[in-house]
Amino acid sequence: MRFQADAWAKAFEEVDITISREDIYELEGSNDRRLIKAIFKKAGKEPEPCHFEQLSAMKREVLEFDRIKPFEGIPECLNQLKRHFRLAMVSGSNFDVVEKFANSFFSGCFEVIITGGDLKCGKPAPDPYLKALEKLALTNNECIVIENAPLGITAAKRAGLYCAAVASMLEPEKVKHADLVFENHAALLDYLNSFLPK
């Protein structure tokens, strides 16, 4: 997320809007259109129609993908989990970014991937999670959502899903509406590993 936030900050500089990483962390999970509208609104401005594609493209262009790496232990954990559970990735990010990220770090882990462009209504609407449930052919009481962003937690709860959150980028207070909150990825890994057969 740090690199995503920095890329957005560079893109918004082009329209004379200064943002912090936390501005993006709080909007994580939004599709690009919703995020752009929210940042413009916070700056007291109105985006022009051309801004949506231009800023999204610029953000993708300046994203330092070669510096991104997954949190320690997560790829190994997902590789174990996929042997026993059906996994889906539900992201508000652009398809190109999500596909590159999934293929680089989590190849073969996710049976279903939902991206920001797949649905008209992204997080905090429940639609992305409901779409993942539909594609997995599972009911909401058969799933657990792992989130790290307020909008994603809201989307999961609106979809009637149990949601565990890790306060990886924001204070725990900002993700407290999840059913369960972990302070860091080490605690999350312990939780996920508890589902694996001993």
Q: Assign 131 a pLDDT band (cuts: 50, 70, 90).
A: very high
Return the DSSP state at 17: -
Distance in angstroms (rounded) separating the CA atoms of residues 138 and 54: 37
Distance in angstroms (rounded) separating the CA atoms of residues 90 and 131: 9
The strand pair at 144-147 and 162-166 is best described as parallel
Based on the domain organization, do 43 and 99 belong to the same domain? Answer: no
Among 44, 66, 88, give the residue marking a domain's end.
66
Q: Is residue 198 part of a domain?
A: no
User: How big is the CA angle at 156 (ends 152 and 157), to the nearest 5 degrees?
Assistant: 120
- Residue 53: what are its φ and ψ, rounded to 5°? -75, -40
What is residue 94's predicted lDDT score, i.e. its pLDDT?
83
Among 41, 66, 91, give the residue marking a domain's end.
66
Based on the domain organization, do 84 and 26 belong to the same domain? Answer: no
Among 30, 50, 66, give the residue marking a domain's end.
66
Based on the domain organization, do 46 and 92 belong to the same domain? Answer: no
Residue 165 bridge partners (DSSP): 147, 181
Please write the tens of the pLDDT for every residue from 33-79: 889 999 999 999 999 999 999 999 999 899 888 888 888 899 999 99
Global pTM? 0.84
Based on the domain organization, do 100 and 155 belong to the same domain? Answer: yes
Based on the domain organization, do 84 and 172 belong to the same domain? Answer: yes
Based on the domain organization, do 122 and 172 belong to the same domain? Answer: yes
Q: With contact defined as beta carbons under 8 Å apart, do 178 and 165 qualify?
A: yes
Domain ranges, residue 111 = 74-193
Q: Which class for 112: exposed (0-12), middle (13-18), buried (19 or more C-beta within 10 A)?
A: middle
Q: What is the 3 state secondary structure string of 40-91?
A: HHHCCCCCCHHHHHHHHHHHHHHCCHHHCCCCCCHHHHHHHHCCCCCCEEEC
Based on the domain organization, do 112 and 59 belong to the same domain? Answer: no
Structurally, the chain folds into a number of domains equal to 2
Single-letter amino acid code for the residue at 158 = R
What is residue 142's predicted lDDT score, i.e. its pLDDT?
96
Based on the domain organization, do 80 and 176 belong to the same domain? Answer: yes
Q: Assign 28 a pLDDT band (cuts: 50, 70, 90).
A: confident
Residue 180 bridge partners (DSSP): 164
Q: Is residue 132 part of a domain?
A: yes
What is residue 178's predicted lDDT score, i.e. its pLDDT?
97
Query: CATH no. for residue 81?
Result: 3.40.50.1000
